[in-house]
Each structure stands twice: as structure tokens, then as C-alpha cells.
Amino acid sequence: MNNSNLDSLIFSVTYENYIKNISIDKPDKKLGKWSLSEQMTNHIKFAYTYLKDSDQMIVKKHYIDKFEKLDDGKYCFYFSRSEDIFFEYPHARVQARHYRNSVELENCSRLTEDEIKIRLSKSKNIRSEASTSKTKNSGIIEPAKEELVKIRNEKFKDNPLPNAEEARILIERVKLGEDADAVVTEFYLDKENQ
């Protein structure tokens, strides 16, 4: 996979946060708070909002002007404009964030008005584990490792494996709740740009 093609951040929100923070743009056009690598902020030009418990629906696209590093080291972004855009996300469920190519996403088939209403209603009315629980720290080291290995083998099989210390750091990040796909993608993008 060519990391330079990854120009989009996909982040997930609950229905409540969608209504409160996403459906209508804030006047300052500032959004989010993510642990991103500085390298990723140089590549990301768009952000797509994935609505939890909606059967994989993307609901909004933001055109990013710039990222800003906050006092806690996390990043937010400012956007010039946004648009409501409804399509089924063709990849794994988004728990924290994913990185994808905007051309690929723009080629996804749009949902009908009826399908949008059904999925919005489902997201509003379901309180699944995905939207109500936090990742537990106990007993997930092996699943985190397995997921990291799976993603690495699918997306970055031609790249060298991380060394033991790098692997421990990646596993710890996932254990603390970061999305495995995002962690692996950031790792290899940073390696590519060293």
C-alpha cells in the first residue's frame, strides 16, 4: 500500500455526538481531538464521519484547511467546508480512526433516502457495546497483537516487521484504546518518511 495515497481521516461518532457536533457545522469550523502523528497531519486533506451503529454509514465529509496541535499533544482540525454525504463504508468498523484514499471513498455508491433514514434511526435507538463501553485494559494484549499482525499482513506485507520495542509500543497504544488500523498505518508512514 502506498501511504502517500492516504489523504482521508475516517473518525467515528455516536448518534448523540453526530447531532451535537457534526450535523450542523460549528461557527469556528474546528473539530476533534486525536492522537495523530505529525506526519499524518501533512497527508490528510479530508475527514469523513462514520456513524456508529448505523451499519457502516459515512454521514459527513469535511475539507480540512489545517491541523492544530493542542496543549495535550493531540490534534484538532479546521475545515473550510463540509457536506452531508451518505454511503456505506466498505472496510472494517471504525472504532477510533482509519486512514483511506478519498478517491476510493468517493466511488462508493450513495445510499437512498429511505436507507439513510433507517440507518440514522438504528444508530439513534441502539446502545451497542461499540457506543457505550470503553476498551478494557485487562486481557486484550493478545487480541491487540493478533489484530496488529493481521492488519500489517494485509496492508504492509512488503514492509519489514517492527522490532520488539516498536511492537510493544504499538500493542500498548491499541491496548489503551487506539484503533489498530490507524496505529499500523501511522507506524509505516513514519518509517517511510524517515
How confident is the model over 88-100, as pLDDT tens digits? 999 988 987 899 9
Instruction: Give the pLDDT score at 1.
Output: 46
Per DSSP, the residues of 129-160 read: HHHH-PPPSTT-HHHHHHHHHHHHHHH-TTSP
What grid cell was written down for 88? 456505506
Query: Which of 73, 65, 58, 71 has the alpha carbon at shortest distance from 31?
Result: 65
pLDDT-based confidence at 127, cuts 50/70/90? Answer: low
pTM: predicted TM-score of the whole model, two decimal places:
0.73
Instruction: Say yes or no to pLDDT of 110 above 90.
Output: yes
Angle at 50 between CA 49 and CA 56, to 5 degrees: 155
Rounded to whole angstroms, how far apart are CA atoms 80 and 53? 28
Instruction: Give the pLDDT score at 183.
Output: 87
How confident is the model over 68-95, as pLDDT tens digits? 999 999 999 999 999 999 999 999 889 8
Instruction: Say yes or no to pLDDT of 137 above 50.
Output: no
Side chain identity at residue 39, one-letter code: Q
